[in-house]
């Protein structure tokens, strides 16, 4: 690492384990939810599930971010915010 001495690091705390695991639907559970939706709600949920978008990425999505010719979606400001 650039041949630099790091020295001793004091007051370091271990990372804490999350108190609970995230809930993940099975394929059948997701399908059961999606088939009960229609219209704009169906479109939004199908887009989230099929593309792997996070909720905030979906909320920031604009019409011009979808390229139907190349079947691509431009994700702006993606990440763990």
- Per-residue pLDDT of 30-55, as tens digits, reads 999 999 999 999 988 998 898 888 88
What integer pLDDT is reported at residue 79 of this predicted model?
A: 65
Q: What is the mean pLDDT of the chain?
A: 85
Residue 8, domain member (yes or no)? no
Scored b (16 or more CB within 10 A) or e, 40-72 reads eeeebbebbeeeebeeebeeebeeeeeeeeeee
Number of domains the chain is built from: 1
State pTM to two decimals.
Answer: 0.59
Higher-confidence position of 44 and 76: 44
Residue 67, domain member (yes or no)? yes
Q: Which two tokens stand for residue 27?
A: 């394929």
Residue 11, domain member (yes or no)? no
Residue 53, domain member (yes or no)? yes
Range(s) of the domain holding residue 60: 27-73
Residue 1, pLDDT > 60, answer no
What integer pLDDT is reported at residue 29 of this predicted model?
A: 94
Residue 44, domain member (yes or no)? yes
Residue 6, domain member (yes or no)? no
Residue 69, domain member (yes or no)? yes
Residue 47, domain member (yes or no)? yes
């Amino acid at each position: 690492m650039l041949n630099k001495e790091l020295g001793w690091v004091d007051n370091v705390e271990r990372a804490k384990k999350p108190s609970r695991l995230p809930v993940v639907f099975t394929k059948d559970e997701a399908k059961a939810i999606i088939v009960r939706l229609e219209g704009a709600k169906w479109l939004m949920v199908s887009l989230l599930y099929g593309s792997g978008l996070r909720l905030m990425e979906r909320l920031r999505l604009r019409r011009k971010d979808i390229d139907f010719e190349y079947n691509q979606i431009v994700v702006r400001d993606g990440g763990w915010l």
